[in-house]
Amino acid sequence: MLISAVLLVREHSSSITTFIEQNPFQGVCLFLVLNILDAVAAPGATLPLIPVAAHAWGHVWAAVVTTAGWTAGSLVAFSIARRWGSPLVKRLTSMDRLRQMKHYIPKDVFWSIVVLRLAMPMDLLSYLLGLFTHISWGKYAAATALGVTPPAFLLAYLGKLPHAYDIFAVGIGGVVIVAYIMAVRRRACRPDVHAR
């Protein structure tokens, strides 16, 4: 899905850039909303738009708006988990995965959030912390913003490179392959409960 999004945005990048340049306020609002949705239900889906934003606004503003959208979306997901709990969360993500990950929540949640935001899907981590921790809204928002800022700036700077879309496609493909290999190995190492 992510590679398809990269190819789709690459195909229409000039028209998207023109829209953003001609409608700066609407462009920022649309980019923010898409990044919020990305953090709530479709992690990584807006990554291909970052090069477009970087070309239209410059890498600093693209990174700032991306950080704001990801942080706001993570707060929405966190809020959904806190307010409505597992009945609603299980419609948005895998409850089995969340229960498995619950055991790995460390005692120092703040700095763990900062570090994990560099590597984990945003929606999964937000739901996990909203359901199974007592971290305050302020600490959660600060840790999330700290964690998503470096990737946002890195992606915005990469977005200004000549072959940005190719870099994104290869990077996304590499992450998917590594995640698949790790999942397969984890299943192979797990003892067969039914055999006992």
Average pLDDT score, the chain? 76
Number of folded domains in the chain? 1
Q: Tokens standing for 39?
A: 């953090």
pLDDT per residue over 6-32, tens digit each?
556 666 667 777 887 788 888 899 889
What digits encode the pLDDT tens for the residues 164-190? 556 655 666 666 676 667 666 766 665
Cβ pair 89, 99 in contact under 8 A: no
**Tokens 């990269």 belong to residue:** 6
Both tokens of residue 137?
Answer: 């809204």
Specify the pTM: 0.71
Q: Domain containing 95: what range?
A: 2-195
Determine contact, residues 85/131, Cβ cutoff 8 Å: yes
Q: What is the distance between the alpha carbons of residues 115 and 168, in angstroms, rounded to a whole number? A: 22
Model confidence pLDDT, tens digit, residues 131-153: 778 888 899 999 999 999 998 88
44 or 163, which is more confident?
A: 44
